[in-house]
Each structure stands twice: as structure tokens, then as C-alpha cells.
């Protein structure tokens, strides 16, 4: 296996360079490229070409390698299929928005959670990602935005619009099954890329000890809970994790976190339909009664409900519901005084359902 230079400490990188018979200053040059997310050695313009070629035979730059890059027709969304050193595959998505550039990061290769509507979990969990493997996803997006141009910070401290400004840990995997590495990664992103805590969101299906660990960590990031059902009976049908952690306890832990950090809690709620035996789509978790029950759970708390139209996953027997049904659901929340938004799905044409790209590739 080739050495991944990004994973070496400064002194290890220097030793590596010296062992190749090169002067020490090459280590510093290489490090600068690695910190910008250089996808290969050929971009390292200040190294002699024969050295770049020699390095490529013995080493890799980053712990993730782009094997596919898809641009959405909206021109704002880029999806990367990335390969890790042990050939596992993960996804990462760059979304250019009016408020900044957001990267959706995967925390595990695969997922063990078994949610019935999701593609990420269909092939099971492969393994946790390391801190560097998560950080390298952000640098991959950063390179896409900026290439070899140096990061320039404006006098007021704001990064310009060619920088990653937001991180959402909402890719493949359950971040709170890999909490310590996720924390390490976010510390790195905050320190090295200047990404403020308030522009970071971690999404979980509701692992209570993990939420408590984030609370103890103490950084004022945003927390999102994938709720998707307003009562335990229904939730257990679609999310096995609900056998272990019940809705009320999950929400209590989440409210503790958001109150503690004075942040608005995000509740993610996919609106699911299901075909009955006559082929008619019935509302699964999206009736007016469900909307009322959901309101009762969160009324009086500082919460934003993010309503997510379901992305089709062929292997899953759910169905999308009509725009009218989505709005009827939302109107009830609004009537009950609850903040709510409908998530604009990005890049549906490039498989925006989580895990879809990795899955398709694995099945080939
Ligand atoms: N495991 C974490 C991180 C994944 S976040 C969590 O559960 O929060 C990915 C978000 O997309 C979650 O809210 C997830 O429930 C949602 N999602 C999964 N499959 C989807 C689909 N087919 N369509 C729309 N959203 C989906």
C-alpha cells in the first residue's frame, strides 16, 4: 500500500523526504499542497516534474481519492465518489448556496442503522472513518472551489466565496457511532479552515450517549435529529435504532444540547408515502394527525422542522407524496407556531439520495 503523505506528521514527512534523498525543504512545499487538498502530485508546480512522477509511484497525496465526480444540472452541486486507502468507497457533496459553500461529509463507510427508507445502510457498515478521512473530504471540496490558488482571508476575517464555509455531517453513516473521530475532525476544520462552530451541523438518528458526548464537548455547533415519525410505534417500524432510544428521551437529550448552547434544534422529517395493494399512494407518516402529534412533541422549544421530500431509492418500497400533501403537513405545523422549511433537494439528477452513488457503483 502506498504511503498517504497527508497522514504523516511534519517530522514524519521530513523523514520521508530525506529517505528519498531529497532536501528537507521539499517537505514544507509538499505540506502546503496537501493542506490545500492537492488531489495528486502532478499539480505541485514548484516540484521538478521527475520528482512529481517519482512521488506518484511511492505515495498518495490524500487519504481519499476521487473516482467519480458528478455535476448536477443546477450547476451548484458537485458530488464526489471517493475511494479510501483500503478501497472502501464513500460520498461527499459540495453545495454552492447563496449563504456560502457547504460540504456534506460522510462519517462512516456504509451504515449499521438499518433505516428502512435509506440507501446508505443497504450494504451494512464497513467501518468508521478516521479524522483525516473526514477532513480530506472537506479539502477535496475546497480544492474543487479554489484549486491551487491560496486561500485569502479578507481584512474583516471573512473567508471569500471560494472557500468552504459550512459543514454538514449528513453523508453516509451515523456520526454518533464515531463520535470521537467526528469531534477530532470538527476541531481540525475549525482550527485550520476557520469554519465557525455555528456553521457546522451534525445530524444523528438519535444515539443518546453520543448527543451527551457532544454536549460535554461543549462547542456550539448545530444538532439535527432525524426523527421521521411522531410516535414510537411508527418510528420503530422504519428506524431500528428506536428500539434502543425512544423519541421522548432522544428529544430530551437534544433539547438539553440546544438549550445549553443556545442553538435552534433541527428536526429532520422525511415525508413518506406507501403504495397500498391497489397501487394507490397512502400517507405513511404524513397525515394531518401526524403533523399534530409532531407539533405536540416540540411545541415551546426552539426548533426548526426540516421537511424532506423522500428521494426515491429503488430498493425501498416507499413512495414520494404529492406537493399538496407536503404543504398540508407544513401548514399544520405553521398553524401550531412551529418554524418549518421544506428542504430543497439538490442534484436529484446525480443521485442525491444518501448513499445512492456508492450503492450503484458497488452493484455494477
Ligand atoms: N445517520 C445520520 C446522518 C445521515 S443524515 C442521521 O440519521 O441523521 C442524512 C439525512 O437524509 C437523514 O435525515 C436521513 O434520514 C435522510 N435520508 C435518508 N434517506 C433518504 C431518502 N431516501 N430521501 C430523503 N432523505 C433521506
Q: What is the pLDDT of residue 363?
A: 62
Q: What is the pLDDT of residue 150?
A: 61
Distances (CA, A) of 265 to 201, 233, 250: 10, 23, 12
Residue identifier of the C-alpha nearest atom 9 of ligand 1: 170
Best residue among 354, 355, 360 to mutate for probing ligand 1, ranked by most atoms within 8 Å of CB: 354
Give catalytic residue positions: 91, 354
H helices within 172-246, ranges in order? 179-193, 208-217, 232-238
Q: What is the pLDDT of residue 286?
A: 98
Q: What is the mean pLDDT of the chain?
A: 93
Residue identifier of the C-alpha nearest atom 15 of ligand 1: 226
Low pLDDT (below 50) residues in the chain: none
Q: What is the pLDDT of residue 358?
A: 65
Q: Which cell numbers in the block locate residue 283?
A: 400517507
* Cβ neighbours, 10 Å, residue 274: 14
Tell how far the Cα of 175 is from the centroid of ligand 1, in angstroms: 12
* pTM of the shown model: 0.94
**Using a 6 Å CB cutoff, which residues line ligand 1?**
113, 117-118, 170, 174, 203-205, 226, 268, 270, 308, 310-311, 313, 353-354
Between CA 340 and CA 54 the distance in angstroms is 55
% the chain with pLDDT above 70: 93
Q: What is the pLDDT of residue 352?
A: 56
pLDDT tens track for 220-275: 999 999 999 999 999 999 999 999 999 999 999 999 999 999 999 999 999 999 99
H helices within the chain, ranges in order? 10-19, 25-35, 49-58, 131-146, 179-193, 208-217, 232-238, 247-261, 288-298, 323-335, 356-363
pLDDT tens track for 320-364: 999 999 999 999 999 999 999 998 777 667 765 555 666 677 665
Residue identifier of the C-alpha nearest atom 2 of ligand 1: 204
Amino acid at each position: 500500500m502506498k504511503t498517504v503523505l497527508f497522514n504523516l506528521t511534519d517530522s514524519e514527512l521530513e523523514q520521508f523526504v530525506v529517505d528519498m534523498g531529497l532536501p528537507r525543504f521539499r517537505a514544507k512545499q509538499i505540506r502546503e499542497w496537501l493542506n490545500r487538498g492537492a488531489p495528486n502530485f502532478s499539480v505541485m508546480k514548484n516540484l521538478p516534474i521527475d520528482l512529481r512522477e517519482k512521488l506518484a509511484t511511492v505515495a498518495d497525496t490524500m487519504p481519499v481519492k476521487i473516482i467519480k465526480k458528478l455535476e448536477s444540472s443546477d450547476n451548484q452541486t458537485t458530488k464526489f465518489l471517493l475511494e479510501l486507502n483500503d478501497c472502501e468507497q464513500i460520498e461527499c457533496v459540495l453545495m454552492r448556496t447563496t449563504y456560502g459553500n457547504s460540504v456534506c461529509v460522510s462519517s462512516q463507510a456504509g451504515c449499521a442503522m438499518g433505516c428502512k427508507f435509506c440507501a446508505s445502510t443497504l450494504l451494512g457498515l464497513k467501518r468508521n472513518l478516521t479524522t483525516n478521512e473526514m477532513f480530506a473530504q472537506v479539502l477535496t471540496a475546497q480544492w474543487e472551489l479554489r484549486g491551487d490558488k491560496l486561500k485569502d482571508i479578507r481584512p474583516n476575517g471573512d473567508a471569500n466565496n471560494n472557500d468552504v464555509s459550512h459543514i454538514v455531517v449528513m453523508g453516509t453513516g451515523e456520526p454518533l457511532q464515531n463520535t470521537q473521530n467526528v469531534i477530532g475532525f470538527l476541531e481540525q476544520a475549525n482550527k485550520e479552515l476557520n469554519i465557525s462552530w455555528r456553521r457546522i451541523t451534525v445530524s444523528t438518528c438519535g444515539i443518546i450517549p453520543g448527543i451527551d458526548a457532544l454536549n460535554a464537548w461543549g462547542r456550539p455547533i448545530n444538532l439535527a435529529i432525524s426523527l421521521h415519525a411522531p410516535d414510537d410505534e411508527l418510528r420503530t417500524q422504519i428506524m431500528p435504532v428506536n428500539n434502543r432510544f425512544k423519541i421522548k428521551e432522544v428529544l430530551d437529550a437534544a433539547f438539553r444540547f440546544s438549550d445549553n448552547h443556545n442553538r435552534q434544534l433541527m428536526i429532520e422529517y422525511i415525508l413518506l408515502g406507501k403504495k397500498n395493494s391497489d397501487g394507490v399512494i397512502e400517507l405513511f407518516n404524513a397525515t394531518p394527525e401526524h403533523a399534530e402529534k409532531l407539533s405536540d412533541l416540540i411545541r415551546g422549544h426552539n426548533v426548526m422542522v426540516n421537511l424532506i421530500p423522500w428521494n426515491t431509492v429503488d430498493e425501498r418500497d416507499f413512495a414520494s407524496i404529492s406537493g399538496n400533501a407536503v404543504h398540508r403537513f407544513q401548514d399544520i405545523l405553521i398553524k401550531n407556531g412551529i418554524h418549518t422549511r421544506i428542504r430543497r433537494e439538490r442534484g436529484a439528477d446525480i443521485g442525491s439520495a444518501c448513499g445512492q452513488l456508492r450503492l450503484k457503483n458497488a452493484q455494477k
